[in-house]
Amino acid sequence: MRTIKTLTFLILMLVTNAISLINVIAADAAEINLNGDNHETFSAAEDDKVIFTSSDTKTEISFLRVGEDKVLINLNPGNKILLYKIGDTKDFSVDQDEITLTLDSIKDGKAELTIKKTQLQEFNLETKETEENNAYKILALILSIFIISASIILFIRRRKVNRD
């Protein structure tokens, strides 16, 4: 009976640690604050999202497809889908700011872009891992917990059988 209580305690500890790790994974984001500077260069892979804030409005850039020489993105709010070839520059407005987005290059499946604003307002840029990538990490973590739990249970049962 004592081994079952110990096993239950170990499983609860593993689940608690898993939840803590999930919270760390979900919060994984890099922020760039452009004070006094009006442009930023960043890179993103397919399925990545970049959120930038300009004039207190958040705009999300979703990278739908990253090819060898083209990138397909979706801008939200507005749900605008834009196709960029290397060297292309396109403009769009966010509140009081005119934003220019340029596809500089594509290296190792990552698009390198430069985002600029023409009217100087407070401007923040943060890169987020996709929820799908986080889901794979969470799934791997949960599977690991189950494998460890099953191994502990099998070990205890074999030990008990060997005693009899």
Structure confidence at residue 127 (pLDDT):
59
pLDDT of residue 24: 39
Q: Does 60 share its domain with 40? A: yes
* 51 and 103 part of one domain: yes
- For the segment 78-126, what is each residue's pLDDT rounded down to a tens digit? 788 899 999 999 988 877 778 888 999 999 999 998 888 776 555 565 6
Q: What is the pLDDT of residue 12?
A: 60
Say what the pLDDT of residue 69 is: 92
Where do we find the tokens 């917990």? 145
Residue 64 and residue 123 share a domain: yes
Q: Are residues 17 and 86 in the same domain?
A: no
pLDDT at 123: 55
Would you state the pLDDT for residue 102?
Answer: 93
Q: Rounded distance, CA 103 to CA 85, Å? A: 7
Same domain? For 51 and 92 the reply is: yes
> Within this chain, do residues 71 and 14 fall inside the same structural domain, yes or no?
no
Regarding whether 49 and 96 lie in a shared domain, the answer is: yes
Structural domain tally of the chain? Answer: 2
CATH assignment of the domain containing 43: 2.60.40
Pair of tokens at residue 41: 């260069």
Q: Are residues 36 and 110 in the same domain?
A: yes
- Helix or strand or coil: residue 161? helix
Sequential pLDDT tens for the chain (164 residues):
566 666 666 666 666 555 544 443 443 333 444 334 577 888 888 888 888 877 677 788 888 999 999 999 988 877 888 999 999 999 888 777 788 889 999 999 999 988 887 765 555 656 555 555 677 778 888 888 989 988 888 888 888 777 76
Length of the chain: 164
Residue 76 structural domain: 31-128
In a shared domain, residues 110 and 162 = no
Whether residues 54 and 85 share a domain: the answer is: yes
In whole angstroms, what is the distance from residue 111 CA to residue 94 CA? 22
Main-chain phi, psi angles of 87, to 5 degrees: 95, -15
- Note the pLDDT of residue 104: 95
Apex 28 CA angle, 35 and 42, nearest 5: 45
